[in-house]
Chain A
Amino acid sequence: MTGISLMTENKPEGGIRLTEQQLRARRARSIAIAVSLGVLVILFYIVTLVKGPGVLMRPL
């Protein structure tokens, strides 16, 4: 029996109810992931501006 099916059998009818602590932790993690992805997008944008057409050249 897999972990997922075990969880499905044990969970209440409305699905898994997250505790207040689990909800807070999930929200904080989601925000951190969003910020990280945002920083990555901005980084690529700025580096593209800095390098210009040279951004496609990747010398050793």
Chain B
Amino acid sequence: MSIAAAPAEPSIAGVGDYLQLMKPRVMSLAVFTALVGLVIAPVHLHPVIGLTALICIAVGAGAAGALNMWYDADIDARMTRTAARPIPAGRVAPGEALAFGVTLAVGAVVVLGLLVNIAAAALLALSIAFYVIVYTAWLKRTTPQNIVIGGAAGALPPMIGWAAATGSVALEPTLLFLIIFFWTPPHFWALSLLRADDYARAGVPMLPVVAGEAATRRQILIYTVALAPLGAAPWLLGYSGPLYGVIAAAAGVAMFVLALRLNGQKTGQAASKRLFAFSILYLFLLFAALLVDRISAQLISLIAA
């Protein structure tokens, strides 16, 4: 990592560059899964408090993204996929990104603690620290298991949402944590199969670079076999209705079939692309089904009352 020590030119960074530092797509996934954790919690939370929690989680996720881009600016500059990001492209100075990330991280945690509750704030702080220190600064450059362990940071938002509503954690949000945790390796390794050259050039020890494509495809299948029943667990344990059960089972079978096809292939990128695209849909379908399931149950009980 190289932080420029030269005298700073007045910045040309626009608002869009700072938004890009926050990784809006990752942020939207964190907000959506946190919303589900918040809605399925068995307590009534005032909408303003719920909205406050979601804003803090969004800003916290954005802060983690900005700090990741600050630390990984050297890697990003060597990869085609990330070379146009604000720091390697020279639009934002590394120091500006660091200050931006730290300010947002501290702000999000403090506001969540002050306006919602301390348990949610502590989990948000843990999530940011895990992503920046454990994943970005430690695991990403040292082990092919980087995204497996680092995936815990991205899996925490449903627990933060639940904690924002209840002030504690329970088995139900832990299941959602596990679903995202086991979903992360098939999702990212499918992408890394497509970008193996990029990662090799940047010196990032992703699984396809270190262990080869065949081993990666096998690992994707193993994690998918674990993921499919986990996806259905909220229904099997009685936390959700049959709508969720049917969607989770069907999506799990589809994900398994795609992983099986990918494992059976020797070359070609089409199967990786299909699995990567479907993995995004898979997570969205599961969490959207949980949301619909819970909201419809609440509506029915409201009408009955």
Give bound CA distance, A47 to B13, whole Å: 33
Q: Does B46 contact A (CB under 8 A)?
A: yes
Residues of A within 8 A of B (CB): 3-4, 6-7, 16, 18-19, 21-22, 24-26, 28-29, 31-32, 40, 43-44, 46-47, 50-51, 58-60
Contact flag A58-B118 (CB < 8 Å), given A22-B10, A47-B48, A47-B52 = yes
Instruction: Please encode chain B, from 106 to 135, with 1 for each CB lying within 8 Å of some chain A CB and 0 for all others.
Output: 000001011101110000000000000000
Nearest to B17 among chain A residues (CB) is A25
Give 11 A-B contacts (CB < 8 Å), ordered by A residue. A18-B10, A25-B13, A25-B14, A29-B13, A29-B14, A44-B115, A47-B48, A50-B49, A58-B113, A59-B118, A59-B167
**A28-B91 Cα distance, complex, nearest whole Å:** 14
B237 CB–A CB distance under 8 Å:
no
Q: Which residues of B contact A31 (CB under 8 A)?
A: 15
Q: B1-24 CB contact bits vs A (8 Å, 1 = yes)?
A: 000011110111111001000000
- Nearest B-chain residue to A32, judged by Cβ: B15
Question: Shortest distance in angstroms between A17's beta carbon and chain B's nearest beta carbon?
Answer: 9
Q: How far is the CA of A49 from the CA of B108 in the complex (A)?
A: 21
Besides A4-B7, A51-B49, A59-B118, 9 more A-B contacts (Cβ < 8 Å) are A3-B7, A7-B8, A21-B12, A24-B14, A26-B11, A32-B15, A43-B55, A46-B48, A60-B118
Q: How many A-B residue pairs have CB under 8 A?
A: 59
* Nearest chain A CB to B163 CB, angstrom units: 9
Q: Which 5 A-B pairs give the minimum distances between C-beta atoms?
A: A3-B7, A22-B10, A32-B15, A47-B115, A50-B48
Q: How far is the CB of A5 from chain B (nearest CB, A)?
A: 9
* Cβ–Cβ contact A29 & B117, under 8 A: no
Given contacts A50-B48, A58-B114, A60-B167, contact A7 B14 (CB under 8 A): no
Q: How far is the CA of A34 from the CA of B167 in the complex (A)?
A: 32
B residues contacting the other copy or chain, number (CB 8 A):
25
B298 in the interface (beta carbon within 8 A)? no
What residues on A are CB-neighbors of B115 within 8 Å? 43-44, 47
The distance in angstroms between the C-alpha atoms of A18 and B8, with both chains bound, is 13
Q: In the complex the two chains form, what is the Cα distance from A50 to B50 in whole Å? A: 12
Which residue among A19, A21, A44, A60 has the maximum number of chain B CB atoms within 10 Å of its CB? A60
Asked whether A16 and B10 contact (CB < 8 A) given A43-B115, A50-B46, A50-B49, the answer is: yes
Residue B168, interface by CB 8 Å: yes
A60: B residues at CB distance < 8 A = 117-119, 167-168
- Whether B117 and A22, one on each chain, are in contact in the complex, defined by CB atoms closer than 8 angstroms, is no
What separation, in Å, do the CA atoms of A4 and B15 have in the docked complex?
25
- Residues of chain A lying within 8 A (CB to CB) of residue B118: 58-60
